Structure 1
Amino acid sequence: MRIDLAAVVLVLSLLAGCGEPAPEQKGFAGLGNQAQAFTPVVPGRVFSFPADHGPHEGFRIEWWYVTANLKDGQGNEFGVQWTLFRSALSAAAPQPGWANQTLWLGHAAVTSAGVHHAAERYARGGTGQAGVRLAPFEAWIDEWRFAGQAGNAFNDLQLSAQDKSFSYRLHLTTDRPLVLQGDHGYSRKSEQGQASYYYSQPFFHADGTVQIDGQRYTVSGPAWLDREWSSQPLTADQTGWDWFSLHLDSGEQVMLYRMRQKDGAPYLTGTWIGADGQPQTLSAAQIVLIPKGTATVAGRSMPVRWSVAIPDKRLDLTLDALNPNAWMNLRIPYWEGPVRLSGSHGGQGYLEMTGY
């Protein structure tokens, strides 16, 4: 589960221009609001590529989300985030021009041990300012781009974004298959049946440059793509989530998320991805995920050190934030940044925390 969908909900109220009061928000960012008019997420969907790299009309929310753990030649560590969200104001087919009922939101960020910069972009559908198209693949908002080279290939892409304090340009390549999360791409988010369609490409390798406050770095490292779409991914009493993507030095990849609730235990699940790309869904009983240390960030206490264990896989890790102050100080704020791994396995990863 990725995301600051709270920002999307706010943008809906700001840009819709309907002049009516916003509906009462249920659950984190209103994602527990009922969505009967939109297409439901049900088990058994057969994914189709390259079509599923593109937008899914009829669903209320979806995103294209990339994170990268990078190092330069001197061993300095960096994190990069690039995200494009599509939000539908209506379940009806999109209209041309400013009558279009689709809104787009972009987030980009860079993180080092001492600096974190984040930026956002907004766009209305139907104007050409933002969108996603296929053959070749391209997702964009303003000058920010995530784009393929030619044809339908999704294994050779360029990623770029820039703002006043940072920029990056990365080349992402892979020879591994896409990974369907959950039950063949059906990813449950609660015991009540809320879910998304969810696939990842956790095996990207990134090469390129990152510029922070006028200093340019040549970098490389692993990158992770997440693709999700849904219409009501949360329940009304889910308050936020903690999401982890881990690149292990052994070649395996791990995705974990903890959906926090107002009352009761969090909903916990994940995926163990073998070095060959084969996924195995992890149940809550197989995962030990405990916050171990906090930092005061933007006036609130954030768990920036975690204990992660999967006994069946002999995994026992401590995760520490590269920069505890990786606060996305945007319209709706949240925490997202790279983490260091120590313990049974080496590696690196990314952590997102919302709703604190």
Structure 2
Amino acid sequence: MIAKGMVHLCVWGLLAVFAAFSASAQGFAGMASDAEGFSLPRPNPEFSFPEDHGPHPDFRIEWWYVTANLTAEDGRSYGIQWTLFRSATRPEAPADTAKGWASPQIWFGHAGLTNADQHFTAQTFARGGIGQAGATAAPFAAWINDWAMTGRAGPGQDALDRLDLSAHGADFSYALKLEAQGPILRQGLDGYSVKSPRGQASYYYSQPHYDVQGTVHLPGGPVVVTGQAWLDREWSSQPLAPSQTGWDWFSLHLADGAKLMVYRLRDADGPDFIPASFVGPDGAARYLPDGDVELTPIKTTRVAGRDVPTHWRVIWADGGLDIETEPVNTQAWMDLNVPYWEGPVRVTGTHQGQGYLEMTGYE
């Protein structure tokens, strides 16, 4: 009876944590509402790989995040998303030996699969101390329950260069192989990503150069696909500024081989904050500070009972880029504990391409 009661208390405590997360208008960023006792990002980070591909328990929150634009043999388009989140209920020092339910680490995963007519979502939760979820740097693996991102890099390769990726929901699943065709991209100022003029920041890098092949499974059966993928790694202990209500984030693969990441952090009390990064067709990377890129919504769509800006114009005047993005499926709403819009997009204008758009805070 005592053991059963303890399990119930743990479960209810876990549910209370997730309920608090989902109540935040800032979505994922609101999960890090108190940084006291946790490590904070500092300028001029010195990343160490493969160690930094693994978890950072002295920081409040981090995630491993993959999106992929895929095409079947018949030309039909698909998009997938895979995210593993780690959030700590209290600071954990390197010597912390808390195990089982006493571990402060909470994990949850989101997955999605989208085509022009359908949008599937799934979420799963776990506590890291009992082995249900976690991440290791070498060999690289990140998992939650039976969802997994597993490294299979060879000698001399970065641990993220070759990955197996899988997840499933009630009506979908996917199993994909990712192979990097270029180097890791450090976002922001050499990996120090400032989120507002007030100084909130994260450590942030990406691997935007994956080629993908594999299979997606839908109610109609399996579909063989190929395409491109983008991985983000980010960790911090700081929430957004109190007046920042959410973000609109793009990762774009352009047809000439260039890559563009840009996001708008919406601010109720002042101008929005819009940093970006660009990798040219020659592989040269460039940080674009706030103000260099313009993001303008040009069309809203009624989605899940709310108006969401699903079509956008993106202008980087100094780079000769003036594009518009259109979603593959306007109804790509992730109706999860933390609700948000996320789905594949197509790019037209001065550049052609494809990519992903994520929008939080439209609640």
TM-score (norm 1): 0.92
Gaps of 5+ in 1: 1-11
Letter in 1 for 2:357: L
Alignment pair present for 1:107 and 2:110: yes
Letter in 1 for 2:352: G
1:27 shift after superposition = 6.5
Which residue does 2:47 correspond to in 1?
A: 47
Moved more, 36-45 or 90-99: 90-99
Cα shift readout 1:182-233 (whole Å, capped 9, x = no counterpart): 0000000000000000000000111011112232211111100000000014
**Kept after mapping to 2: 8 A contact 1:146/1:160:** yes
Query: In the superposition, relative to structure 1, how do residues 18 and 346 fare at CA in structure 2: closer, same or farther (>3 Å)?
Result: closer
Alignment pair present for 1:181 and 2:181: no
Which residue does 1:167 correspond to in 2?
A: 173
**Kept after mapping to 1: 8 A contact 2:32/2:60:** no
Alignment pair present for 1:283 and 2:281: no
1:277 shift after superposition = 3.5
**Identity score, percent:** 50
What number of residue pairs does the alignment pair up?
A: 343
Structure-to-structure mapping, 1:59-208, within 5 angstroms: 59-93=59-93, 94=96, 95-149=98-152, 153-208=159-214
Q: Measure the CA separation in 1 of the matches of 2:287 and 2:299.
A: 28
Query: In the superposition, relative to structure 1, how do residues 150 and 293 fare at CA in structure 2: closer, same or farther (>3 Å)?
Result: closer
Alignment pair present for 1:294 and 2:300: yes
Alignment pair present for 1:306 and 2:312: yes
1:313 shift after superposition = 1.3
Cα shift readout 1:106-140 (whole Å, capped 9, x = no counterpart): 00100000000000000012111000013221111
Letter in 1 for 2:131: G
1:32 shift after superposition = 6.8
Letter in 2 for 1:102: Q
SS at match of 2:287: strand
Q: Measure the CA separation in 2 of the matches of 1:43 and 1:26.
A: 28
**Kept after mapping to 2: 8 A contact 1:82/1:108:** yes
SS at match of 1:52: helix
**Kept after mapping to 2: 8 A contact 1:73/1:219:** yes
Select the residue among 249, 258, 268 that pairs with 2:274.
268
**Kept after mapping to 2: 8 A contact 1:179/1:277:** no
Query: In the superposition, relative to structure 1, how do residues 221 and 351 fare at CA in structure 2: closer, same or farther (>3 Å)?
Result: same
Query: In the superposition, relative to structure 1, how do residues 263 and 126 fare at CA in structure 2: closer, same or farther (>3 Å)?
Result: same
Query: In the superposition, relative to structure 1, how do residues 313 and 81 fare at CA in structure 2: closer, same or farther (>3 Å)?
Result: same
Query: In the superposition, relative to structure 1, how do residues 13 and 308 fare at CA in structure 2: closer, same or farther (>3 Å)?
Result: farther
Which residue does 2:35 correspond to in 1?
A: 35
SS at match of 2:315: strand
Select the residue among 326, 339, 345 that pairs with 2:345.
339
Q: Measure the CA separation in 2 of the matches of 1:212 and 1:134.
A: 32
Gaps of 5+ in 2: 1-9
Letter in 1 for 2:146: E
1:157 shift after superposition = 0.8
RMSD over aligned Cα, in angstroms?
Answer: 2.1
Moved more, 71-80 or 148-157: 148-157
Q: Measure the CA separation in 1 of the matches of 2:100 and 2:139.
A: 23
SS at match of 2:130: coil
Q: Measure the CA separation in 2 of the matches of 1:331 and 1:84.
A: 14
Q: Measure the CA separation in 1 of the matches of 2:146 and 2:332.
A: 24
Moved more, 267-276 or 182-191: 267-276
Query: In the superposition, relative to structure 1, how do residues 315 and 32 fare at CA in structure 2: closer, same or farther (>3 Å)?
Result: same
Q: Measure the CA separation in 1 of the matches of 2:56 and 2:92.
A: 12
1:92 shift after superposition = 2.5
Which residue does 1:252 correspond to in 2?
A: 258
Query: In the superposition, relative to structure 1, how do residues 136 and 114 fare at CA in structure 2: closer, same or farther (>3 Å)?
Result: same
SS at match of 2:206: strand
SS at match of 2:143: strand
Query: In the superposition, relative to structure 1, how do residues 299 and 221 fare at CA in structure 2: closer, same or farther (>3 Å)?
Result: same
**Kept after mapping to 2: 8 A contact 1:158/1:171:** yes
Query: In the superposition, relative to structure 1, how do residues 287 and 22 fare at CA in structure 2: closer, same or farther (>3 Å)?
Result: closer
1:99 shift after superposition = 0.6
